Amino acid sequence: MVIDARFPPVIIRSYIGTTTEKMVRESGAWIGKYLSSLRSSAKIVLITDTRAVLTTDPKMRKIAAEEAKKLEPLMRAHEVESIVIINSVMLRCAITAISWLTSLNLSPAKDPEDAFRLASESLARVGQTLPLGLMSTTYRIPTTPMSKAG
């Protein structure tokens, strides 16, 4: 997993390979620490890229839900939107349904281009723009596990 904070207010979390409990918990802890460090009025977009995940067993999905629940107060305070890049059309439909049934600002995306478009629209609603240099055509996942602010 790599968390990329080089382009605030957009944070990009990329899961790679087999998802582990350690990976999910470290991600939650990092995001919690990052959000806690923001000024009270700061807003972010969190993009989670799952395209390179090989397997995720049901236990990991439960742990991810637990971590998300822990972060909920901070996410409500700072998040404009969470965007999840998912290969499966069926899972993108499920993410849409979850967003209808909950108060989460959650949107599915089919690829980085779609995710960056959604991020741009979300940020525009709060008077912000995508940072310069963040483009789907040139974006590359960093090689270090936690980038810049990590």
Question: Where residue 94 sits, what CATH number does that domain have?
Answer: 3.30.750.24
Angle among Cα 90, 104, 126 to the nearest 5 degrees reads 115
Write down the pLDDT at residue 137: 86
* Domains contained in the chain, number: 1
Sequence-ordered list of residues with C-beta below 8 angstroms from that of 35, at least 6 positions apart, any chain = 44, 71, 74, 75, 77, 78
Q: Which helix (H) or strand (E) holds 114?
A: helix 112-125
Residue numbers of the domain that contains 95: 2-147
Average pLDDT over residues 115-131: 94
pTM of the predicted model as reported, rounded to 2 decimal places: 0.86
94/66: higher pLDDT:
66
Decide if pLDDT at 95 tops 80.
no
Amino acid letter, 19: T
pLDDT tens by residue, 20-77: 899 999 999 999 999 999 998 899 999 999 888 887 778 887 888 888 888 888 888 8
